[in-house]
Structure 1
Amino acid sequence: MDYHKTGIPGGSNYKVVTREYLFNKMQQQELHTFDEKVDYLANYLLTSDNFNEEQLKVLKHKISHFKSDLKKKWLKANRILDKFITANATWLQGTFEIPIVPLPQKRAGRPSKPFDELSDRNKRKKTSDLRSTVSQGVLVHAAKTSLETSGHRHASRLLSEVMKSPKRAEKYKQAYSKCLQASDTQLSPFKALSMFVEADLSRKQYEIVRNSNKKYYPCYSLIQKEKIKCYPPKSSITVTETAAEVNLQDLLNHTVTRLLTYLKENLSNLTEEQLGSLELIYKWGCDGSQQSQFKQKMQNEDSTDSNIFQSCLVPLQLKCGNKIVWQNPTPSSPRYCRPIRIRFAKETADLTNEEIEYISSKIDLLENRQFINDDGLSANVKHTYFDINNGRC
């Protein structure tokens, strides 16, 4: 044991340290509560040297008094470190006596090395008697307790976990190996885009994150390319001065394609029969809103951009019979809203009825088709729609 102060012996069989040294030793430990730190200090003093029974009895008595005084003073200071040190400066300079363990007599020959510096062969040789006379359970418990008292709480808990069953250690090893392999490979643009969207990052924020590990995070240009894949094909989009519309068949085909790409691991567990009978359920509707009118003039003087009327759909669920393959986690979130048509027009009852008839006619012309994802997995998807304006399928 290394002592902060050994100047004034309390007797020929004792060494002396200051209470301040013991308090600082306790505070240096990364433990959550004050009681845990006090218990650590007690275990540290009792296990640091090979005390005999009489010395242990004396030391335990001293530690008990020290713990009692320390807790009273700590509570009196309202658990505030600066207040505690100021109010108890004199008490902290007081001394604490620790029994001296007689040093073994030196023997002739080569000095023995510390256990940590021995080779694996010599370590096995030195612990052979211990392993042959003490059961595995006792050795594991002793190792856990030693790690706990020395401040290695995570290592102690990990040892407890891996010893719960014979296969647990193998699973931990495999998980750790996968973690090491994953850290060496770059995050795919698809997963990086997912992180980018989920965290609602700006380009500058992403660049700051990427600078921490450029080998792991792909450059922003790859994320931009991946984002383009999320849009329907340009050929399916029609834009005029007062309206923008995407072909409904192309929009649904694109939605299914993206879902099959995202769910490729789940789909690999389905049979061919199940893949041939997938059903994607949507809800769709239309609504209007007002906005500030811009000063930019339109070619048609009667047109205005002060009102917007929009029809859109939201995918709700992909299922196979009674088995749900994918469920929309936030069906009311704009994140999953897919616009069909947007117009500069004021919402009226006639306009709403007109839009419902228009979208319904588009739905009647839709065709189910076969889809193939990036892994070559083929699936047939049926589309089912729910009109939220009229409450009908």
Structure 2
Amino acid sequence: MQRQNLISLEEKLDFLEDNLLSCHAYSAEYVQTFKKSFSYFKAQLKEKWTKARRKEDAFLKANQSRLNGAIEIPNKSHFRPGRPLKSFEKCSERSKRRKTEEVRSMVEDTVIIHAAQSTLIAKGQRDGSRILIEIAESASRAAKYKSAYKESTSPGRGNILTPHAALAMFVEADLTREQYEIIRNTNPYLYPCYDRLLEAKKECYQTQIRVTSSYAETDLQSLIDNTIMRLSMYLEEELLTLSENERNSLTIICKWGCDGSQQAKYKQKIEDTSGSDANIFLSSFVPRQITCGNENRKIVWQNPSPSSPRLCRPIRFRFIKESIDVTKEEINFVESSVNNLVTSEIELQGNKFVFMLHMTKGNYGNTNDGNTSRRFFKNPKLAADIIGVDYNFIYRLKIILEAISSGYEIDSATTVRGGSRGAQQALPDVSRK
């Protein structure tokens, strides 16, 4: 070591360690053990060197007895011949049982489990520690964990659809039962059976319904409560992130309307002789938005297509021909129900949410029905010639209405600005006529 011209104590000790390990072809496991022991020796030596203020005379005087002692140097004869030793992780299950047999026979099971739990926590694996406790406490819980793990790792079982998710797909795609069964046969583990969809569908049904041969109606309060509950289940993750104040200031904004229609007569037996199934008059509402916070500025949910019948909730329908008197009667019926509405409260994972109701009046039956409007805007040039209005005015109005009813998110500012520009250009011509 003196011939190496090493200056610092750290360099001398590192040279000594490398020289000792290079004497023989030691196994990786023994090298690791030796380095761990030698690091402790180096730490003690450095500490004493520092206490001697890095002066050789003072160091030799203070540690004379220790320096005159002996140090055991590893010898090749310490290792048995044969194949090199394996680390515990690389051993087979049989070898692991043999190596841990002594520990298992001398130490209680609870001590071993607690040691494993503490090791997992020290490594930051708290979830693994909790699972270990649950498995150790209950044999049935261990069986459930095993079954769930086996199911999650089986081919084709990675993302199993819940009955409600499969039902949403079924409705959105407008599938028949036969079509769904064909899709399900491609991967039976992914899609639940059709009976599970029927059970999920029944959970969506409104219970308080009155049905006769001439009409069917439901209690509006019960229908809105059911709607709020279904929307809350869909928005559960987002609702749970709200603050306490926001949970108590939720508002669901809805619009309602009524209209009549004609249909093919099916020879329905009706007790009321004045009615006929050739005509039907319906009142319904659509949830448009859920807001919360000060002045309801925070939007929790927005109906992507408020003009679509997709989320329409029927309140009452009757086999009766539309007329002014029937329309007024229906308006009075719905407004009376709206005036009696109260706030709704639901509970999700132990958290209470309060929904206030805001019901606005939409359109209701008139002579300009949907078919007439569509025919009018289908040919804006002809419509402009007939009523004597500027073509650009009608065309831009057609674009605005199509954008509103498209079901897609639109830039309202751009749409209204473009429509207003065309309206302003056409207003002089309209005013003159």
Query: TM-score by structure 2 length?
Result: 0.46
**2: CA distance between counterparts of 1:354 and 1:285?**
13
2:346 to 371, 374, 377: 371
| Alignment gaps of 5+ in structure 1 | 1-177
What residue in structure 1 maps to residue 255 of structure 2?
Answer: 283
Larger of the two Rg values belongs to structure = 2
**1: CA distance between counterparts of 2:354 and 2:268?**
47
Q: CA deviation at 1:183?
A: 4.3
Counterpart AA for 2:242 = L
What residue in structure 1 maps to residue 168 of structure 2?
Answer: 194
1:231 to 205, 222, 242: 205
Check if 1:353 corresponds to 2:328: yes
Q: CA deviation at 1:300?
A: 3.6
Q: CA RMSD in A?
A: 2.1
Counterpart AA for 1:372 = E
**1: CA distance between counterparts of 2:350 and 2:269?**
50
**What pairs with 1:10-29 in structure 2 (closer than 5 Å)?**
none
Check if 1:386 corresponds to 2:360: yes
What residue in structure 2 maps to residue 251 of structure 1?
Answer: 223
**2: CA distance between counterparts of 1:360 and 1:182?**
52
Greater share of helix: 2
What residue in structure 2 maps to residue 122 of structure 1?
Answer: none
Counterpart AA for 1:362 = S
**Residues 352 and 265 of structure 1, relative CA distance in 2, 3 Å threshold:** same
What residue in structure 1 maps to residue 238 of structure 2?
Answer: 266
Q: CA deviation at 1:219?
A: 0.7
**2: CA distance between counterparts of 1:181 and 1:381?**
43
**2: CA distance between counterparts of 1:256 and 1:182?**
35
Q: CA deviation at 1:354?
A: 1.5
Per-residue CA shift, 1:131-163, capped at 9, x if unaligned? xxxxxxxxxxxxxxxxxxxxxxxxxxxxxxxxx
**What pairs with 1:1-393 in structure 2 (closer than 5 Å)?**
183-233=157-207, 236-320=208-292, 321-373=296-348, 375-389=349-363
Q: Which has the higher contact order (CA 8 A, sep 6+)?
A: 1
Q: CA deviation at 1:215?
A: 1.3
Choose 193-202 or 298-307, whichever is displaced more. Answer: 298-307
Counterpart AA for 1:366 = L
Asked whether the 8 Å contact 2:275–2:321 carries over to 1, the reply is no
Per-residue CA shift, 1:97-138, capped at 9, x if unaligned? xxxxxxxxxxxxxxxxxxxxxxxxxxxxxxxxxxxxxxxxxx
**1: CA distance between counterparts of 2:284 and 2:313?**
5
**Residues 296 and 199 of structure 1, relative CA distance in 2, 3 Å threshold:** closer
**1: CA distance between counterparts of 2:322 and 2:284?**
15
**Residues 238 and 213 of structure 1, relative CA distance in 2, 3 Å threshold:** same
**2: CA distance between counterparts of 1:194 and 1:270?**
26
**2: CA distance between counterparts of 1:348 and 1:368?**
34
**1: CA distance between counterparts of 2:164 and 2:226?**
16
| Alignment gaps of 5+ in structure 2 | 1-151, 365-433
**2: CA distance between counterparts of 1:231 and 1:291?**
25
Q: CA deviation at 1:259?
A: 0.6
